Amino acid sequence: MATELGTRVVGTPPGLSLGRGMRAFLLLLWFAARGDALYFHIGETEKKCFIEEIPDETMVIGNYRTQLYDKQREEYQPATPGLGMFVEVKDPEDKVILARQYGSEGRFTFTSHTPGEHQICLHSNSTKFSLFAGGMLRVHLDIQVGEHANDYAEIAAKDKLSELQLRVRQLVEQVEQIQKEQNYQRWREERFRQTSESTNQRVLWWSILQTLILVAIGVWQMRHLKSFFEAKKLV
């Protein structure tokens, strides 16, 4: 079952194909604009994991961009093309649904098929320990879930929607997301209730068992000691 969707192609309407250069330029522009996203530092062999608790049939798009510290210029430069990041996504049952290596800049997409905690792990594929030169790799990361992952410009172009229609479409997507989340919430609440009831049962059984053990032990102790003292002719 093809659950891994790989890189998502920048949307082009049918009948009009953008040149490769144009597409690359757009992607660069997109990254330059989004490049000011949150970033963090990651060590050479370090693995950073992020958790997304999502309902089923939800699309998640992650974008990352890496920069390596250049000692000569004393600033962060875009990483060499050979340096890539390995992205691994696990579903709530710990089954791997995406395990791919991307370049120094990448975009990964997956759609959840079971509700729950999905784990997205990133680590660099560098094998040479001296590559980072004692520094760290700077990773710009942006994860969009559900409705935020929709590319409205693409949808408007593809379905030829007017402004008002696009706004209504956005509202519909939002409401669908709310509905999915509430459905998931009902399932989780049921699990929570089951755990609480199990705890309740365990405590109840334990108290009954404890009383029985105490009584039985007490009776055994007295009988044993009585027979012991009778044998010793003390009683």
Partner 1 sequence: MMPGSAPLPRRAAAAGRWGCRLLPLLWGLLLLLSGPSGASEITFELPDNAKQCFYEDITQGTKCTLEFQVITGGHYDVDCRLEDPDGQVLYKEMKKQYDSFTFTASRNGTYKFCFSNEFSTFTHKTVYFDFQVGEDPPLFPSENRVSALTQMESACVSIHEALKSVIDYQTHFRLREAQGRSRAEDLNTRVAYWSVGEALILLVVSIGQVFLLKSFFSDKRTTTTRVGS
Segment contacting partner 1 (CB under 8 A): 21-29, 84-92, 104-112, 123-131?
Answer: 21-29
Contacting residue, 4, 5, 8, 10, with partner 1 by CB under 8 A: 10
Q: How many CB atoms lie within 10 A of CB 18?
A: 14
Handedness of CA 216, 219, 224, 227 (dihedral sign): negative
**Cα radius of gyration (the chain):** 30
Please, which of residues 174-203 interact with partner 1 by CB under 8 A? Answer: 174-175, 177-178, 181-182, 185, 188-189, 191-192, 195-196, 198-199, 202-203
157 binds partner 1 (CB under 8 A): yes
What DSSP character marks residue 123? E
Which DSSP string corresponds to 26-56? HHHHHHHHHTTS-EEEE-SS-EEEEEEEE-S
CB-based contact 108:62 (threshold 8 Å): yes
At its nearest, how many Å lie between partner 1 and the CB of residue 203?
6
Please, which of residues 206-235 interact with partner 1 by CB under 8 A? Answer: 206, 209-210, 213-214, 217, 220-221, 224-225, 228-229, 232-234
Binding-residue total with partner 1 (CB under 8 A): 75
CB-side neighbour CA atoms (13 Å) of 144: 13
Binding mask 26-45 for partner 1 (x = CB under 8 A): x--xx-xxx-xxxxxx----
Segment contacting partner 1 (CB under 8 A): 77-85, 94-102, 125-133, 155-163?
Answer: 155-163
